[in-house]
A and B are shown apart, each in its own frame.
Chain A
Amino acid sequence: MLAALLVMTGIALALGAALGYAAFHFKVEGNPLAEQIDAILPQTQCAQCGYPGCKPYAEAVASGEAETNLCTPGGDDGARKLAELLGREFKPRGTPVEKLTTVALIDEQTCIGCTLCIQACPVDAIVGAAKQMHTVVSRICTGCELCLPPCPVDCITLVEEPRTPQNWRWKYPVTGLKVVA
């Protein structure tokens, strides 16, 4: 009887010590689930989901407080991937009509140099200074449209990224069935 108690207590202590050691030494920084979700999100940082960026939204989804179908640029595809990852039921988002890669363009003639768009840009893609002309570094711009509302003179427009041989794509060779009757 006593031997059994001692053995059980001993095992419990040893395992407890091992768990305590692991919890301390093999601690995972951050939330790995949020990282996985963040990897699926398109990183537009557009805040259309209601969270201030992709990472905050990923954290909200990971903690279960947000739905998986709030990401507009990700569309149905992204929502499906998130639902699959989390084992939740897929809820459609409504894919954007046509997925165009757009970038913001500042009309430099009209810009008054108020810096409001610079403060709004989530990826610091706009350069300029107070009362100096601003411009968008189009290579970095995600096309999130967050710079449009603050502009007092409406000098920012979204333009489609020009097609070059480098980003041009071959079309999908499968032709759909023709409806004949």
Chain B
Amino acid sequence: MISRLFRFRGGIKPASHKAESSAAPIRPAPLPRRLVVPLIQGSRGSARTIVTAGDKVLKGQCIGEAEGAGGTAIHAPASGTVLEIGRYPMAHPSGLESLAIVIEPDGEDRWIATEPLDPASASREDLILRIQASGIVGMGGATFPSHVKLGKGDGISTLLINGAECEPWITCDDRLMRERAVDVVTGARILRQLSGARRIVVGIEDNKPEAIAAMTAAVRESGAGDIDIVPVPTRYPAGGEKQLIRVLTGIEVPASKIASDFGVQCFNVGTAHAVCRALVHGEAMISRIVTVTGNVERPGNYEVALGTPVSHLLEFCGVKAGTSRILMGGPMMGFTLPSTEAPVTKGSNCIIAASPALFPPAPPEQPCIRCGSCASACPVGLHPFELYWLSRAKRFDDASKYRLFDCIECGCCAYVCPGHIPLVDYFRFAKSEIRALGEEQKAASQARTRFESRVARLAREKAEKAARLAAKVAETRAGLAAGDAALIAAAAERAKAQPAVADNDTSPTDPT
């Protein structure tokens, strides 16, 4: 039992804007004309396509195998025909393109034969393999492959199920817990079995009383009271992994360590639900619940087939006039989609149609006066104003020393900044520059080593060639010397043999 809750440092209380989308039940979104399924779905690896253009695929059929240990498989979200494998815009702030499999649904929505795997009788290896083959990644947004996270499965005492959903506007986990609590609880029990944890604690922010009630009821109905459903105070970012661990267990996980070093593992409620679907029902991850909200006619939560273009989803929900941009993810940590042709992926939890009325454009940036508001709001205990100066001045070494990479980009600092400085933009910029510089240095040191070993090789080859030449010359000389001696000897022989002949021969000429 959880006897007391703890507080994490900093944090903010933004307007929640959850009511807009949390009222209506989850509705299925219609299939688009073409599904675009990117090969990269997780943060750690991609899939290798195993279909070609023209192939007929069934719903839930594997179309991309996990590539490498960190890869996760991808599956056809609907039955239909593979049209092509090409480059399409990604759901990424860069708007870059990546390889994707394009499927034209045939409208029949025929499932491939599903093979449930009983968690009670199957071995741990089989279950982990099934999780990888079902393409399950963390649904909270970071898309870390779950089979990697589950790892060896020892040393874990507490399994946390993250239902905090602290970001404003997003309600997909809320609706999931309200409507599919039984599956979430089943998935959580499977995850506990796989992680070897003794107890399960589900943390839900106390602004979701219906979800808390539904989850409590699901635990009670399923018998054993082995799962604690704990309401946690609503304070952003309570849903951050390390923040939730702090609130529920009191453990402060340092930036250099991961939660499992402290015997704690944390999964999102969506991940628990997906694990249940994959094992108990044998269904691979082919859809997710997406909150569509903001400046739309029909805000709410939709069960969306992965690969559905955002534009199709928005069309279905009816984007109102005055929408200026489309956000993917929440307003705090999300990003503006460069193209609405980008597809919904496993990590897309929310689409917000932003209008100037809902999200007023930021007032002009004022100079930093070092008021320190950002430092008291930072949940990681950093000094954002220092990091801001250093990032702005491109003093990246110093920024790293001030632990820039511990920043979780939650946006609390920018939210409280009285000067409206987009602090997170600076931190993202500095982080990507530092990473790029590191890559450059790695490439430079590789080039240096290769150049030096080439010079050494050329010198060695030259020396070897010179040595070979010298040896050859010496051999020829020696051969010549030996040959000369033989020639001289032969000549001497001939000379010795000659006089007798010469006498006979020369005699006739003598008279002259």
State A10–B28 Cα separation when bound (angstroms).
97
Name B's interface SS.
helix
Contact of A54 with B429 in the complex, beta carbons under 8 Å: no
Contact of A164 with B454 in the complex, beta carbons under 8 Å: no
Judge whether A26 is part of the interface by a CB distance below 8 angstroms.
Answer: no
State A123–B447 Cα separation when bound (angstroms).
6
Name A's interface SS.
loop
Q: How far is the CB of B427 from chain A (nearest CB, A)?
A: 9
Contact of B94 with A168 in the complex, beta carbons under 8 Å: yes
Judge whether A43 is part of the interface by a CB distance below 8 angstroms.
Answer: yes
Please, which residues of chain B bring their CB within 8 A of the CB of A170? Answer: 93, 425, 428-429, 431-432
Please, which residues of chain A bring their CB within 8 A of the CB of B450? Answer: 123-125, 140
A171 and B439 in contact, given A124-B450, A163-B96, A165-B92 (Cβ under 8 angstroms): no
Contact of A53 with B96 in the complex, beta carbons under 8 Å: no
Please, which residues of chain A bring their CB within 8 A of the CB of B96? Answer: 163-165, 168
Contact of B429 with A122 in the complex, beta carbons under 8 Å: no
Interface residues of B in 86-103 (CB under 8 A from A): 90, 92-94, 96, 98
Contact of B447 with A45 in the complex, beta carbons under 8 Å: yes
Question: Once A and B bind, how many residue pairs between them come within 8 Å at the CB atom?
Answer: 67
Judge whether B445 is part of the interface by a CB distance below 8 angstroms.
Answer: yes
Q: Which of B422, B436, B443, B455 contacts A169 (CB 8 A)?
A: B436
Q: How far is the CB of A125 from chain B (nearest CB, A)?
A: 8
Contact of B444 with A42 in the complex, beta carbons under 8 Å: yes
Judge whether A93 is part of the interface by a CB distance below 8 angstroms.
Answer: no
Contact of B432 with A173 in the complex, beta carbons under 8 Å: no
State A163–B92 Cα separation when bound (angstroms).
13
Q: How far is the CB of B409 from chain A (nearest CB, A)?
A: 11
Question: Could you say which interface size class chain B belongs to?
Answer: 20 to 34
Judge whether A115 is part of the interface by a CB distance below 8 angstroms.
Answer: no
Please, which residues of chain A bring their CB within 8 A of the CB of B422? Answer: 173
Please, which residues of chain B bring their CB within 8 A of the CB of A125? Answer: 450
State A159–B446 Cα separation when bound (angstroms).
21
State A170–B335 Cα separation when bound (angstroms).
12
Contact of A165 with B451 in the complex, beta carbons under 8 Å: no
Q: How far is the CB of A122 from chain B (nearest CB, A)?
A: 5
State A38–B441 Cα separation when bound (angstroms).
12
Judge whether B468 is part of the interface by a CB distance below 8 angstroms.
Answer: no
Interface residues of A in 142-181 (CB under 8 A from B): 142, 163-165, 167-174
**Closest residue of chain B to A141, judged by CB?**
B447
Q: How far is the CB of A71 from chain B (nearest CB, A)?
A: 12
Interface residues of B in 415-467 (CB under 8 A from A): 422, 425-426, 428-429, 431-433, 436, 439-440, 443-448, 450-452, 454-455
Max chain B Cβ within 10 angstroms of own Cβ: one of A38, A123, A124: A123
Contact of B447 with A43 in the complex, beta carbons under 8 Å: yes
Judge whether A55 is part of the interface by a CB distance below 8 angstroms.
Answer: yes
State A43–B392 Cα separation when bound (angstroms).
28
Judge whether A69 is part of the interface by a CB distance below 8 angstroms.
Answer: no
The 10 closest A-B pairs by CB, nearest first: A43-B444, A173-B425, A43-B447, A123-B450, A169-B432, A168-B94, A170-B429, A170-B428, A170-B432, A43-B448
| 20 contacts across the A-B interface (CB closer than 8 A) | A42-B444, A43-B444, A43-B445, A45-B447, A45-B451, A54-B448, A54-B451, A124-B454, A140-B450, A142-B443, A163-B96, A165-B40, A165-B92, A165-B94, A167-B439, A170-B93, A170-B428, A170-B432, A171-B429, A173-B429
Sample of 20 more A-B contacts, CB < 8 Å, known A45-B451, A164-B96: A38-B448, A42-B440, A43-B445, A43-B447, A44-B447, A54-B448, A55-B455, A123-B450, A123-B451, A165-B90, A165-B94, A165-B96, A167-B439, A168-B96, A168-B432, A169-B429, A170-B93, A170-B431, A171-B429, A172-B429
**Which residues does A use to contact B, with CB under 8 Å?**
38, 42-45, 53-55, 122-125, 140, 142, 163-165, 167-174
